[in-house]
Amino acid sequence: MCLALPVKVMELGAGDTAIVDLGGVRKEISLALLDDVSVGDYVILHAGFALSALDQEEAEKTLALFAQMQQAGPAAP
């Protein structure tokens, strides 16, 4: 199973890199697959690469769902 997460671009780095916020953790990722990414944009992150841009409203809804799942805890067997 693959999981891609919405992350917010916090800083643009050298070359095709950026620093993103991943649940309070800052991580350097590659923007090599995208054009025209700016600070404040949301992107879909998978395996260290930004795959596509995502609008802020959709990103925030998805992040809220992940937070709800985390608060609910593990599913019963």
- Over the stretch 4-49, which tens digit does the pLDDT of each residue have? 899 999 999 999 999 999 889 999 999 999 999 999 999 999 999 9
**20 contacts 8 by C-beta, under 8 angstroms:** yes
Closest CA to 26 of 39, 3, 35: 39
Number of structural domains in the chain: 1
pLDDT (average), residues 51-76:
86
CATH number at residue 47: 2.30.30.140
Rounded Cα gap, residues 19 and 61, in angstroms: 21
Domain of 56 in residue numbering reads as 5-72
Other beta carbons less than 10 A from residue 28's beta carbon: 12
| pLDDT value at 69 more than 90 | no
Look up the pTM and report it: 0.85
pLDDT at 74: 76
